A and B are shown apart, each in its own frame.
Chain A
Amino acid sequence: MQALAFHRSLAYCVSVLLLATLAFTARAESRSILEINDEIEIDIVTFGEPAKTGIIWFACRQGEDAIEFETARRLVSRGYQIYFPDMLSAHFLSSLPSNIARIPAAEVVAVIRHIIDTSSTERLFLLAGARAAVPVIRGLADKNLQQRDSKLKGALLITPRIYKTTPDPGSEPVYIDETGLSVHPILVLEGERTPNRWGLPHLAATLEKSGSRVQTDLIDGVRGYFYLRDNQTPAEMELTRQLDSLIHDNLQKFGAF
């Protein structure tokens, strides 16, 4: 009886140790600062070790309890390296979705260029959701990032909102000026439960104007920017928990289109 209790305790201790090790490994992150023109300092948080595939994730929210960071840790365990440039703090801007759209294109390009130059990953993808897709579109429009041999392989946009203003009823959407200036492949995911899904053909046609191959897909049962909502439905909560799978599965599609 005592032996059984001892083995149980031992198994428990080993499990706790293993979990702690795993948690520590998954939480491994580093910080660096990119200085632009001696004026702007952009904090870049990196999750994971150098890997074959890297992701530059433009997010409104950063921090330990942001779902983006939690998802990044899961993506690290799938073999990715994730970079989070904090574009807002450099300008003392709050995590307002509209603020991320105000970041100058030059800074976005400098960050992407810096990560391309310093990262040892073989291929890099840009990732953003909702209004944070604006800096991605601005980055992709830059001629200097459009070389054929670049590590930059494309962008995954989750329920992007790149309108100049919300489209009036009866009017075609109008996007930010840089839309349609890219050459990289772009994969757009949109919620099935949002009117924006009906704008996907128009968005794809606009994004393709300068040569980007664009693929669009619907995510069943969720609204736009589902993982950022504070009134999530059970389906949206579940998919938020599986955001790493959604990102991983869709990044796999880039080789195929």
Chain B
Amino acid sequence: MGFYRQLIFCLSLVLLGQQVQAAAGQLKEYWGDMTSPEIELPDLLGRHHSLTDYRGNVVLVQFWATYCTPCRTEMPTMNRLAKKMQGKPFKIVTVNMAESHGQVRQFLQEVPVDFPVLMDSDGSALVRWKVFAAPANFILDKQGKIIFTLYGAIEWDSDEMVSRLNALIEE
């Protein structure tokens, strides 16, 4: 009896996880205060990055963590997206959720990325951006306004996503 209960529980968790993922990977129009809060953070090498430096570009800002399984899965698709959008005013900026340099370095050895990884060591950016789940994605227009949000993992280099980003670039 105990075994079957455990089995049902595990299957339920898997099903729930699939439902959550299926429901999660959708762009949502953002209706809050559209002005994106500033991000001024160092990357892994200590180089300073400011979100205002990216103005004039459509920007994907992603908050992620090494313990987040969907983050691991989708990062290669973000690399491919960056390649597809090369030469266009589009940038990807990711912010790690207050983990140590060691944890992030180890992750990036396993999953190398072609975009900046900023270190939000005290979580202050997370709080300003109201991030309570991972991965949390924001798409900003060229003026730095939050246009879309997305919770969960998706195929970032899908044709649909590329065309939506291109539409934003052309606005």
Contact = CB atoms under 8 A, between A and B. Distances in A.
A63 B5 CA distance: 7
Nearest to A202: B132
Contacts of A194: 67
Interface string B1-33: 111011011101100100010001000101010
A170 B67 contact: no
A66 B10 CA distance: 12
A197 B132 CA distance: 8
Contact of A223 (B12, B67, B137): B67
Interface string A146-180: 00000000000000000000111111110000000
A116 interface: no
A230 B5 CA distance: 14
Given A66-B2, A196-B132, A61 B9 contact: yes
B132 A95 contact: no
Chain A binding site: helix, strand, loop or mixed by DSSP? loop
A78 interface: no
Of A62, A95, A168, chain B has the most CB atoms within 10 Å of the CB of: A168
Interface string A89-104: 0000011111000000
Chain B binding site: helix, strand, loop or mixed by DSSP? mixed
Contact of A166 (B5, B67, B129, B133): B133
B18 to A, nearest CB: 13
B48 to A, nearest CB: 23
A211 interface: no
**A-side interface size class:** 20 to 34
B2 A169 contact: no
A169 B26 CA distance: 12
Given A65-B3, A198-B123, A193 B129 contact: no
Interface of A: 60-66, 94-98, 166-173, 193-199, 223, 228, 230-231
19 contacts: A62-B5, A63-B2, A64-B2, A94-B8, A94-B12, A166-B20, A166-B24, A168-B151, A169-B63, A169-B129, A169-B149, A170-B138, A170-B149, A172-B130, A193-B67, A195-B132, A195-B136, A196-B133, A231-B69
Interface of B: 1-3, 5-6, 8-10, 12-13, 16, 20, 24, 28, 30, 32, 63, 65, 67, 69, 97, 99, 123, 126-127, 129-134, 136-138, 146, 149-151
